[in-house]
Amino acid sequence: MAQAFYTGITGIQSNQVAIDVVSDNLSNISTIGYRGSEYEFSSMFESMIHTSTGTTSSNSSIGVGAQVNSTRLIQTNGSLLLSDKSTDLAIDGDGWFGVQGDGEPVYTRDGNFSFDANHDLVNLDGFYVLGTMGGNIEGDILTHTLDEVELGEVTAQEKLRFPKFLVYPPEPTTLASFIGNIGIDDEMRTMGAGVVDPLNNKNHLKLTFTKSAEQPDLGTAWDIVATTGSLDGETIYDTKTGTVNFSSSGALISNTLTTIDNNGSEVTIDLGDEFNGVIATSNMDITSSSIADGTIGGDLLGYDINRNAEVIATFSNGMQSSVGKLAVFHFQNDQGLERLNGSKFTESSNSGKPIFFRDASGQNIIGTNVVNFKLEDSNIEMSYGLTELIILQRSYDANSKSITTADQMMQKALNMDA
């Protein structure tokens, strides 16, 4: 009967721990990125009644109770909730975001991130999000554009900190290409292109074609005047002249106009060759078009995060560039992570050090799907938690009843006459 007392007590204690685990899960049912725990019971020592050397051929024993052997992390993913921010991220698969305050990095599935007043990427607790900076920002100037930032080594991940003010510098025009048909009639023809100078001005490059006084026996010859100036026409930066010759079929065969100054930068004038570019023929409509490189500078409009975990800077000139990349960490044993609170974990000797996955070329990759405009909900369902509570409560009552029964039997034994 003493054993019945002990067995019932250990059952009550084990079920109480399990109820605490399920209650904690239910209390965090609305916690973003929360991963619940589940309990594991194990039998304690057993008392042998018979052995194979006794009167029976099989072992017989009576258990002396149960205990909670461990609590295990539930690793199923929670459902994805829609959000209205591109900085709200969810990991659809394996992996953890890394955030850091004053101490060691912390790992979480909670992707509720935002840019603070200094445009540093942080979570709701003010921890900085870890990742790889693009290396294309110097002060408040974007030095070059990147389609994608390559993820650095695990130990090289840093706080993603971006300048509040960022300028996309102007890219002066270096090449202007012209396409069209100027015909063969003795009439003035013009073509134009927008060109950017080093001072971030959008200027106008104008070509004026006039038939030459002396014409070849075959084909046509044209005098060409090129000018660069402000859009309002009040300032002229440079004027160049040349001649172009076309064959009898209209193909361009020679051109002496090559470059022109655009307020401090040299622009190459490309009229094409043969039928690729400017032509002079009578059997086609008069047309003109141009393509010029160069980009007007712009000011930062804001930062966003795309589905590849790239931090994208958008500028007032319509240009975009990746300036950083969020890291997604992985562990050899996620079960070995130690919970700090809620959805935050730290590494341990059981989890091993964080690692990155690699592609076929050996480049570090995030190794999972990152979804923007969504957050991962808790992976605990209300129905599951309530069902577990009912089961545990009945088990608790049964163990309590076994103690009561053992107590009654003990009282009867003590009250029996010798």
E strand map for 128-275 = 128-133, 137-138, 141-142, 158-159, 167-168, 175-181, 189-196, 202-211, 220-230, 236-246, 252-255, 259-261, 266-270, 272-273
What is the β-pairing status of strands 344-346 and 338-341?
A: antiparallel
Segment 77-136, tens digit of pLDDT: 899 999 988 889 999 989 999 999 888 999 999 999 998 888 889 999 999 999 999 999
Q: What does the pLDDT read at residue 413?
A: 74
Q: What does the pLDDT read at residue 55?
A: 55
Segments of the chain with pLDDT less than 50 = none
3-state secondary structure of 222: strand
3-state secondary structure of 148: coil
Q: What does the pLDDT read at residue 75?
A: 83
Q: What's the farthest any 2 CA atoms get from each other in the chain?
A: 146
Structure-block tokens of residue 245 = 């010759």
Global confidence as pTM:
0.73
User: What are the CA-CA distances from residue 258 to residues 222, 242, 243, 269 (Å)?
Assistant: 15, 9, 10, 5
3-state secondary structure of 153: coil
Residues 6+ apart with CB under 8 A from 325: 131, 132, 134, 148, 149, 150, 151, 308, 309, 310, 311, 366
Q: What does the pLDDT read at residue 401?
A: 76
Q: What does the pLDDT read at residue 404?
A: 78
Q: What does the pLDDT read at residue 221?
A: 95
Q: What does the pLDDT read at residue 195?
A: 96
Q: What does the pLDDT read at residue 134?
A: 94
